[in-house]
Structure formats: structure tokens, C-alpha cells
Chains A and B, each alone.
Chain A
Amino acid sequence: MKPILISLFAAILFLPFKGLKAAGIMFISILILLSAVSILKKTKVIDAIKAIRIPEAGRFKAFLIPALLISFLAFPLMLKDYYIDVLIMSGIYTLLALGLNIIVGFTGLLNLGFAAFYAIGAYTYALLNTKLGLGFWTSLPISAGFAALAGLLLAIPALRLRGDYLAIVTLGFGEIVRLVLNNWDSLTNGPNGITGIAPPSLFGVSLGKLNLYYYLVFLLVLLAVIIIRRVESSRIGRAWIAIKENEIAASSMGINTTKYKLYAFAFGTFWAGVAGILFSAKMQFVSPESFTFMESILILSMIILGGLGNIYGAIIGAFILVLLPEVLREVQLYRMLILGIGLVLLMVFRPHGILGGVKGVHFRS
């Protein structure tokens, strides 16, 4: 009886927006869903899903990583431009996810305005290139440094706040950056954005061609993974994780929490800046539209999906969320709807993400 009442209630909720027929369909599908869930509960399938542990690569690691590297190096030789393009975007999002993972995953500081730092990186190059004529390689450290500086400037006052307050301040910062980019017409050309940004070149060879650009992105992602892994297992990384686990305990162990939180912010936003310059050099165009709140949420979803605090999880999450909509072209319209439901379900059933439970991939306690 209870499932029928619940389904009826749910169906009535949908009534005003979809009409009678859809509400009927809702009634039946929720009834089926509820019965399925109760059967799954009886047979303990849900507990099994919650308990799934992805096995550590362990013995296979020696074989897996070179295989992956070689296939990623070989992709541009055999794939069409469209796929290379998608892979480049996956790489850029991987950098963003890796950067955000440092702040949210390692240190446990929720940042809801990460797209702002991505925007700062992208616009810095766009402006340096179109107004001052600086090249990609000179701008790369400047863009990343600017993003890191912005992260630091936001973090210095904001870090006095706890958890969700900090999240809201970062959200506000993200919106302010977007509003400024949108309204400061004389500098940023407002909503129309900046066009004619030059692609990078190396030893006189332009990297504007997709397959060459792919290698540039690939190299930077590889570099990021190596550097972030080294930092994660260093003293700084351990301090971050200690702060995440219990800030008071960490500070009583002699960790200067403010200092390490600032490091996390600056280091994380640095990679957002790198992603930003790669984005604007690839598109040769930037506009405020690319850096909305939804973008921040998308990046956050990537690291949550993969498993907070896990470098490989961030990479997997970024690839899944960039590739999935491309594979499922027909459901493009429902992409965000599914993302919303997915976030709730993930939090309820598997709050630690796909790679949740794979702890200490390279440093064991």
C-alpha cells in the first residue's frame, strides 16, 4: 500500500507541469522503481553497490600506465579531427578538475566559483595577446600566475570562514568576475567577447592544428599529474589531508592551517589558469558565457563523480563528463537534468565517488 501512495503523491507533484498523461506515466514508473528498490534492498544489492571497492591497480599498474600513455600518444594519428577536439576539451577539463581537486578534494574547502579562475586565465591571455601582442609561452606563466594570485587574494580574507560560508563567498566571487567581464566593455568587449587570439607556436611551427595542439594539452596534463602527485605525497599534501580530516586536530599537531590552506588555493587556481590559457588559445575566442556558475558546478561534479581527493578519480570524472554528452548526442537536452539527478543519487548512494575507498594510492598509512 505504501509504495502506491508514494507513487500517487509523486505523480500529483508532476501533474501541473506535464499534464495528466505524463503524471500517469510517472505514477507507473515510480511504482516500478520503488518495487525494484525494495527488491534490491531485500537482496542486499544496494549494500553491495555501496560496498564496491575498485581494486587497486597494484600489479597491473606497471603495465597499465605505459599502455595508457602510448594509446593517448597514438590517438591523434588514428582519430578524426572531431574526436581529437573532444579529447582536447577533456584534457582542459582534466586540468580544471585536478586543480579543483587540490582545493576541495585534498584540503576540504568547497569552492563554488572555480570557473572565475579559469576565466581569469583565459582572459589574461586573450588581453595580453590581442592588446600587447605577447605570445603563448610568455603568457602561460603570467596567466597561471594571475589566476593563482586571484585565488590567493580571495583566499586571504575568505579563509576565516567555515565550510559552507566559504562556499558561498567563492560563489559570489565567481559571479562578480563574470559580471565584470560582461559589463567592462572597454576592456573585455562585454558579452561579445574577444576574438582573434593567436594559437601558440613552437620554433616557428604553429600549434594551431588540432593534432599538434592535442600534444601540447597532453604534455601539460601529464606535467600537472606528475607535479600534483609529488606535492600530494609531500609534507604539504599530508598537511592538506590532515586539515581536511580534522582542522582542529591538524592545528594542534602544529600545522599552520591558514598557510597550507592558502597554498591549496594558490596551487589549485594556478591549474585553472593553465586550463584557461589553453582554452582561449584553442578557441581563439573568449566570452563570459563560457565561465558561468554551471561551469563551476560541472567541474565540481567531475571530481565528486570520480571520488574527492583522488587524482585519478578527477581525471576519470573529467573524461566521463566531457565524453558522455558527446556520446549521447540525442539526450543533449537532458544533460543537465541527468547531472542534477546524478549528483543527488551519488551523494545518497555513493558519496565517495567512483574511486571512493581507494585510499592511499601511493602512500599507505
Chain B
Amino acid sequence: MLLQQLINGLTLGGVYAIIAIGYTMVYGILELINFAHGEIYMLGAYLAIIFLGLFTAMGLTATSLPLALILTAILTIIFCSAYGFTMEKVAYKPLRNAPRLSPLISAIGVSIFLQNYVMLTQGATDKVFPQRFGEAGFQFMNVNVTYLQAMIILVSGLLMFFLHLFIHKTRMGKAMRATAQDKTMAALVGINVDSIISVTFIIGAGLAAVAGIMVASYYGLVNYFIGYIAGIKAFTAAVLGGIGNIPGAMLGGIILGLVESTGAAYISSEYKDAYAFIILIVILLIKPSGILGKTTEEKV
């Protein structure tokens, strides 16, 4: 029973972790809580349903399901990355030197816009994922693990691994780390800060898209407001691990997923959504820098 909850929690945690990475990367560079990040995840879930529906109508799903799924994933990631890119250009870039509250309010505006746009174009009712994967799976230490769960855990693990390589082993990753440390200095040594910021948004949005696809296929149902709650939870995960810190976001996401699934099973499932908020408030009050974060002095 406990082990079963751990597997469920790990699945959930993997999803939270890869959304949280998007928050933490943007915060690391811009010190901005990208409030609309959760909406990108929601758009990803919708796009997966739309594209897979399209391929089903074209008959591709019947001939080759894996091909249809891969194409769906690629298209969804491309579109979501484009949304992330556009969002930054339209709503945040003009505000880069504005007071700190302005971009946050602008982000809330983007979030409201995207939610309502999807509601108006796709309807307010739940959308069903066109492909069911069923309960097929395998036994692992007397616990049922569905193939989908294994897939989600595997994919999120791999993504985190590759992201880690990207940040630490490539030139672009180095430039990103430099920009996160000090934008002005990075610009002085010849890093194009604007394009680094764009790349950050594109990667974050691409990861959120993957999370969206995974959740849409896992639960089979999506709605236009899933982005808000998932966004808050992923943000909690990012803060829990130490915002601005990528391994921290991964750790925070997994902890949050585990707390939520065990809490729902053993304490109360009615307050399932409240756990994230309570963790968030407690961690901010006790150790705002998070588990892996460094404390920063306030600069004059």
C-alpha cells in the first residue's frame, strides 16, 4: 500500500519536477515568477489532444500508434516552445526595467488570457485524451506499475539528466549560468542576454509541454484550469528545492509528489490541493531559500 503510493507519488512528482524546472530557470535569470508557466503546461495537454485527434482522424493512429504519438509530442513541444518564446517577447521583455511588481502582474494577465482563450475556443467541459493506455503494466515488488507510469518516471528522469548535461557541459549552458549570476557582467563578456533569456523560456516551455502530454495521457481528461493549480504546485516544488536551483526543483517536485499521494491516501483526499499550499507557506516562513538554495543578502 505504501509502496503503491510511493510509485504514484513518484509519477506525479516527476511531472511537477519538470514543470518546476521551467519556473526555477526563469527565476534564476530574471527573478520573475512566471505566473503563466502553468498555462503552457495546460496548452501542452490540450495540444496533445488536438494533434492526436487529428492523427486519429487521418488514420495514422490505426497504422502506427508509436509514430502518431511521437509526431504529436514533437508538434506539441514545438508549439509550446513558440508560446513560451512569444510570451516573453510580448509580456515580459518590455518590462525588464520596470518595478518588480509590473512583470508579475503582466504574467497574471497572460495567465488569465490563456485560460480564457482556451475555454472559449475549446469549451469549458473536460476534454478526453483520444487514446487510452489502460491498466496494463508489470509487477514490481508486489506493486502494480502501469507502463504509462514507468514511462512518465523514465521520461522525466531522462529529461532532467539531459538538461543537467546541457547546463553544465555546453557553451550555451555556460552562458546561461553566467547570465543567471550577473546579467550585466554576462553582457560585458559578449553573451547575448536577450537570446539567452529566449532560450530559457523555450526550454522551460518545452519541458512544460512534455509534462502536459504526460498528464493528459495519464489522467485521460484535461480542463482549461489545470494550469493554475499545477503551476502553483510546481512553483511550490521550485521554492521547496530552492528557487533558481535546477537540481532543487527536481528534488522539490519529487518530494511534493510523494507528500501529496501519501497525504491523500493516509490523511484526507479532500485537502489534497491544500498540502502544496501548506508546504509552500511553511517552507517560505522557515527557510525561504529552500532545501538546496543559498541565502542571498538583500542588496541596496
A interface residues (Cβ-Cβ under 8 A, vs B) = 9-10, 12-13, 16-18, 104, 108, 110, 157-158, 160-165, 167-169, 171-173, 175-176, 179-180, 183, 248, 293-294, 297, 300, 304, 333-334, 336-337, 339-344, 346-348, 351
Report whether B109 and A347 are in contact in the complex, using a CB–CB cutoff of 8 Å. yes
- The residue from A9, A171, A351 contacting B102, defined by CB atoms under 8 A apart: A351
Report whether B120 and A337 are in contact in the complex, using a CB–CB cutoff of 8 Å. yes
* 29 examples of A-B residue contacts, CB within 8 angstroms: A12-B82, A16-B47, A16-B51, A17-B117, A158-B285, A164-B100, A167-B33, A168-B280, A172-B232, A172-B278, A172-B280, A175-B273, A175-B274, A293-B228, A297-B112, A337-B113, A337-B116, A340-B109, A340-B113, A343-B105, A344-B90, A347-B91, A347-B106, A347-B109, A348-B91, A348-B95, A348-B106, A351-B95, A351-B99
B interface residues (Cβ-Cβ under 8 A, vs A) = 33, 46-47, 50-51, 79, 82-83, 86, 90-91, 94-95, 98-106, 108-118, 120-122, 228, 232, 235, 239, 270-271, 273-274, 277-278, 280-281, 284-285, 288, 298, 300
Report whether B101 and A110 are in contact in the complex, using a CB–CB cutoff of 8 Å. yes
Interchain CA distance A193-B109 in the complex, whole Å: 30
Most buried by A among B83, B104, B122, B278: B104
Query: Which residues of A sit under 8 angstroms from B112, Cβ to Cβ?
Result: 294, 297, 336-337, 339-340, 343
Report whether A347 and B50 are in contact in the complex, using a CB–CB cutoff of 8 Å. no
Nearest 7 pairs of A and B residues by beta carbon = A343-B109, A340-B113, A340-B112, A172-B277, A344-B109, A337-B116, A347-B106
Interchain CA distance A171-B68 in the complex, whole Å: 40
Report whether B116 and A336 are in contact in the complex, using a CB–CB cutoff of 8 Å. yes
Interchain CA distance A351-B50 in the complex, whole Å: 37
Report whether B113 and A167 are in contact in the complex, using a CB–CB cutoff of 8 Å. no
Query: Contacts A161-B288, A337-B120, A344-B113: A168 and B271 contacting too (C-beta < 8 A)?
Result: no
Query: Which residues of B sit under 8 angstroms from A173, Cβ to Cβ?
Result: 277, 281
Interchain CA distance A195-B114 in the complex, whole Å: 35
Interchain CA distance A108-B102 in the complex, whole Å: 12
Query: Which residues of B sit under 8 angstroms from A171, Cβ to Cβ?
Result: 232
Interchain CA distance A297-B51 in the complex, whole Å: 33
| Total inter-chain residue pairs, C-beta < 8 Å | 137
Interchain CA distance A173-B274 in the complex, whole Å: 10
Give, as a whole number of angstroms, the nearest-CB distance from A23 to chain B.
Answer: 12
Report whether A348 and B280 are in contact in the complex, using a CB–CB cutoff of 8 Å. no
Query: Which residues of A sit under 8 angstroms from B274, Cβ to Cβ?
Result: 175-176, 179-180
Query: Which residues of A sit under 8 angstroms from B98, Cβ to Cβ?
Result: 347, 351
Report whether B105 and A347 are in contact in the complex, using a CB–CB cutoff of 8 Å. yes
Report whether A340 and B111 are in contact in the complex, using a CB–CB cutoff of 8 Å. yes
Most buried by B among A108, A179, A336, A343: A343
Report whether B110 and A340 are in contact in the complex, using a CB–CB cutoff of 8 Å. yes
Q: List 18 other contacts, CB 8 Å, given A172-B281, A341-B113, A351-B98.
A: A17-B121, A157-B285, A158-B284, A158-B285, A161-B288, A163-B101, A165-B284, A172-B232, A176-B274, A179-B277, A248-B298, A300-B108, A340-B112, A340-B115, A341-B109, A343-B109, A347-B103, A347-B105
Report whether B102 and A347 are in contact in the complex, using a CB–CB cutoff of 8 Å. yes
Interchain CA distance A179-B82 in the complex, whole Å: 35
Report whether B100 and A337 are in contact in the complex, using a CB–CB cutoff of 8 Å. no
Give, as a whole number of angstroms, the nearest-CB distance from B286 to chain A.
Answer: 9
Query: Which residues of B sit under 8 angstroms from A179, Cβ to Cβ?
Result: 271, 273-274, 277
Report whether A343 and B106 are in contact in the complex, using a CB–CB cutoff of 8 Å. yes
Report whether A165 and B277 are in contact in the complex, using a CB–CB cutoff of 8 Å. no
Give, as a whole number of angstroms, the nearest-CB distance from A149 to chain B.
Answer: 18
Report whether B280 and A169 are in contact in the complex, using a CB–CB cutoff of 8 Å. yes
Interchain CA distance A348-B120 in the complex, whole Å: 25
Report whether A9 and B82 are in contact in the complex, using a CB–CB cutoff of 8 Å. yes
Interchain CA distance A176-B239 in the complex, whole Å: 18
Interchain CA distance A180-B91 in the complex, whole Å: 34
**B98 nearest CB neighbor, chain A only:** A351
Query: Which residues of A sit under 8 angstroms from B277, Cβ to Cβ?
Result: 172-173, 175-176, 179
Report whether A169 and B284 are in contact in the complex, using a CB–CB cutoff of 8 Å. yes
Interchain CA distance A160-B298 in the complex, whole Å: 12
Query: Which residues of A sit under 8 angstroms from B102, Cβ to Cβ?
Result: 347, 351
- The residue from B82, B106, B120, B288 contacting A13, defined by CB atoms under 8 A apart: B82
Report whether A164 and B105 are in contact in the complex, using a CB–CB cutoff of 8 Å. no
Interchain CA distance A198-B270 in the complex, whole Å: 31
Query: Which residues of A sit under 8 angstroms from B101, Cβ to Cβ?
Result: 104, 108, 110, 163-164
Most buried by B among A16, A248, A339, A341: A16
Query: Which residues of A sit under 8 angstroms from B79, Cβ to Cβ?
Result: 13, 16
Interchain CA distance A27-B277 in the complex, whole Å: 41
Query: Which residues of B sit under 8 angstroms from A341, Cβ to Cβ?
Result: 109, 113
**B46 nearest CB neighbor, chain A only:** A17
Query: Contacts A13-B79, A344-B110: A333 and B105 contacting too (C-beta < 8 A)?
Result: no
Interchain CA distance A119-B110 in the complex, whole Å: 26
Query: Which residues of B sit under 8 angstroms from A293, Cβ to Cβ?
Result: 228
Give, as a whole number of angstroms, the nearest-CB distance from A112 to chain B.
Answer: 8
Query: Which residues of B sit under 8 angstroms from A12, Cβ to Cβ?
Result: 82
Query: Which residues of A sit under 8 angstroms from B99, Cβ to Cβ?
Result: 351
Interchain CA distance A346-B95 in the complex, whole Å: 11
Query: Which residues of B sit under 8 angstroms from A294, Cβ to Cβ?
Result: 112
Interchain CA distance A293-B110 in the complex, whole Å: 15
Report whether B47 and A167 are in contact in the complex, using a CB–CB cutoff of 8 Å. no
Query: Which residues of B sit under 8 angstroms from A16, Cβ to Cβ?
Result: 47, 50-51, 79
Interchain CA distance A173-B120 in the complex, whole Å: 29
Query: Which residues of A sit under 8 angstroms from B118, Cβ to Cβ?
Result: 17
Query: Which residues of A sit under 8 angstroms from B51, Cβ to Cβ?
Result: 16
Most buried by A among B33, B102, B113: B113
Query: Contacts A340-B110, A340-B111: A183 and B271 contacting too (C-beta < 8 A)?
Result: yes
Interchain CA distance A165-B244 in the complex, whole Å: 13
Interchain CA distance A67-B273 in the complex, whole Å: 50
